[in-house]
Amino acid sequence: MTFFLLLALLAVGSSHVIADSNSLTGRNVAFVQFQNGSIAQTGGSTWTEYDNSGNARFSFQETQRDDWSVYLNDASRNVQMQLDLHRKWISYGEDGGPKRDLYKITDAKAVTGRNVSQVQVPNGKYVKTGANVWSEYDASGKPTYKFRETNRDAWSVYLNDPSRNVQLQLDLHRKWVSYGEDGGPKRDLYRITSAKG
C-alpha cells in the first residue's frame, strides 16, 4: 500500500525536485522513470531497474556518461542501455549491436533517497560519514549526533540513534526531516533546503 502511495505521489509530485531541472544532465542524473518502472543508481556505478511495484528486475553497470546520457551494461544478459536525457528515451541494444528506443522517460532526478549523501537544513546538515553512518552537524559545523542508517527507498533515508531512541526520515520528496521517538509517529522537524548525492 505504501509503495502505491509513493507511485501516486511521484506521478503528481514531479515538480517537487531537489535539484533544479535546468541543471539535470547525463553527468549528474541518478534516477529515470518510465511508464512501466524506473532505473536508479543504487551505489557507485551500479544501477537497478525496478517495475512499478518496486521489485528489482535487472542490474546494470555504468560504463560511461556524457552531457546528455548515461550508458549501462548488463553483462549477464549482454544487454546495453542508454538513458538519453536530451531525447528523453531509454534505448536498448543486445550483443553490442545498434540500440532502439524502448521506453519514453517521463521523469528524471539527480538526487534521490537511493544516492543522497548530504542533506542541508536551515540550522545545519546531515552527512553520510561512513558505511551506514550519518552525522548531524549544527550551523557552525560542529558534529552533534550520530545515526545509523536503517533503510533507503526511492525518496527517503531512514536513520536511528539508539542511544536516544530517536528515528529520523530524510524525505527528499516532501523536503522535510521528520523526527520520532521510541518507534512512534514522526513529525516534521526541519525543512530540507538542498541535497547532494
pLDDT of residue 5: 33
Q: What is the pLDDT of residues 143-185, one digit of tens each?
A: 999 999 999 987 899 999 999 999 999 998 889 999 999 999 9
Please give the average per-residue pLDDT across 24-35, as a whole number. Answer: 91
Closest C-alpha among 59, 55, 58 to residue 3:
55
Q: How much is the pLDDT for 7?
A: 36
Give Cα 30 to chain centroid, integer Å. Answer: 6
Q: Which grid coordinates belong to 173?
A: 520528496
| 106 has a pLDDT exceeding 70 | yes
The whole-angstrom separation of Cα 17 and Cα 175 is: 9
The average pLDDT across 82-98 equals: 96
Nearest-angstrom CA–CA distance, 117 and 129: 8
Q: What is the pLDDT of residue 150?
A: 97
pLDDT of residue 181: 96
Identify the pLDDT of residue 2. Answer: 38
Q: How confident is the model at residue 11 (pLDDT cuts 50, 70, 90)?
A: very low
Instruction: Give the CB-side neighbour count of residue 178, counting CA atoms within 13 A.
Output: 15
Higher pLDDT, 152 or 104: 104
